[in-house]
Amino acid sequence: MNSIMQAAAAFQDQQIQQRRTLALTRLRDELLTLGVRAELRDNDTALMISPPGSGLPVWVFVGYGGTSFSWQSAEKRHPISDIPGAAQALADYLGR
């Protein structure tokens, strides 16, 4: 792979990561409106939600080719095109 192709691939990877970070940031903001505290973690590649009480945190990622939020080992997912619905699904999952 020549240097131009490497630069193009790196640029594309950067664009994908920026879209994932934006989606996670918008989800975090929507969760806050529902009273669910969440924070970006791991270089903005994941959202960590602390459940009420002493339960384990829930980690949310953008997966499935950038089309869905996923959590609970990818057993649960919701399209990133519906951020309010994803926030509500996560709030329901957490029992809020």
Top pLDDT among 8 and 42 is at 42
- The conformational region for residue 51 under phi > 0 = left, psi -120 to 50 = alpha, else beta, is beta
Instruction: Return the domain boundaries, the chain.
Output: 23-93
The answer to whether residue 95 scores a pLDDT higher than 90 is no
Q: Are residues 70 and 64 in contact, defined by beta-carbon separation less than 8 angstroms?
A: yes
Question: What would the pLDDT profile of 45-79 be if each residue is shown by its tens digit?
Answer: 899 998 877 788 999 999 888 899 999 988 999 99
Question: What would the pLDDT profile of 17-51 be if each residue is shown by its tens digit?
Answer: 889 999 999 999 999 999 999 999 988 889 999 88
Question: What would the pLDDT profile of 75-94 be if each residue is shown by its tens digit?
Answer: 999 999 999 999 999 999 99
Amino acid sitting at position 72: Q
Tokens of 72: 């609970």
